[in-house]
């Protein structure tokens, strides 16, 4: 039983990683054609870049939670199938409210969903920092210390 849970959890983790990779590649594809767009307006460019990045990453997270919800429904981990997305979201974000409980025979899937969420949120944070680093130097005016 433990091996089955670990296998399912690891497979879903790999799939969530692939969803996040697809979102990352989409962001790269969106950035390159518009690299020179609004070059003379770096603040607007930063705002647009952050909004697009946030939207794409949030969509990826919702898809990833949906994958976990499908597993929760398929394995009947929650009493009410309509609670599957909520339960998966609570685990994925590591909120741990405890108001929707899973059966003891599948206890490892909750922590595996949490581990998935922690890794994907870390990845998202790294991408947002990357976007900021790429745009902030164009906004900050550097003063020559000799002047």
Domain limits, the chain: 2-15+44-139
The whole-model pTM stands at 0.84
Q: Say how far apart CA 133 and CA 118 lie, in whole Å.
A: 22
Each as own residue / partner, the long-range contacts of residues 39-43 (CB below 8 Å, 24 or more positions apart, any chain) are 42/135, 42/138, 42/139, 43/139
Indicate the CATH number of 2-15+44-139 among 1.10.3470, 1.10.287, 3.40.50, 2.60.40.
1.10.287
Give the pLDDT score at 145. 56
The tens place of each residue's pLDDT in the chain, 147 residues long, gives 678 889 999 999 999 999 999 999 999 888 766 666 667 778 888 888 899 999 999 999 999 999 999 999 998 888 787 888 998 999 999 887 766 556 555 678 888 999 999 999 999 999 999 888 887 777 775 555 564
């Amino acid at each position: 039983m433990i091996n089955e849970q670990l296998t399912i959890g690891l497979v879903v983790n790999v799939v969530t990683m692939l969803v996040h990779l697809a979102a990352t590649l989409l962001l790269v594809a969106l950035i390159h054609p518009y690299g020179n767009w609004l070059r003379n307006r770096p603040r607007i460019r930063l705002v647009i870049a952050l909004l697009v990045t946030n939207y794409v990453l949030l969509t990826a997270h919702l898809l990833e939670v949906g994958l976990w919800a499908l597993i929760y429904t398929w394995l009947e981990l929650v009493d009410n199938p309509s609670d599957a997305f909520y339960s998966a979201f609570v685990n994925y974000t590591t909120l741990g409210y405890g108001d929707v409980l899973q059966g003891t025979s599948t206890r490892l899937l909750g922590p595996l969903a949490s581990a998935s969420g922690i890794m994907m949120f870390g990845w998202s944070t790294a991408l947002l920092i990357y976007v900021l680093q790429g745009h902030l130097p164009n906004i900050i005016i550097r003063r020559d210390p000799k002047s």
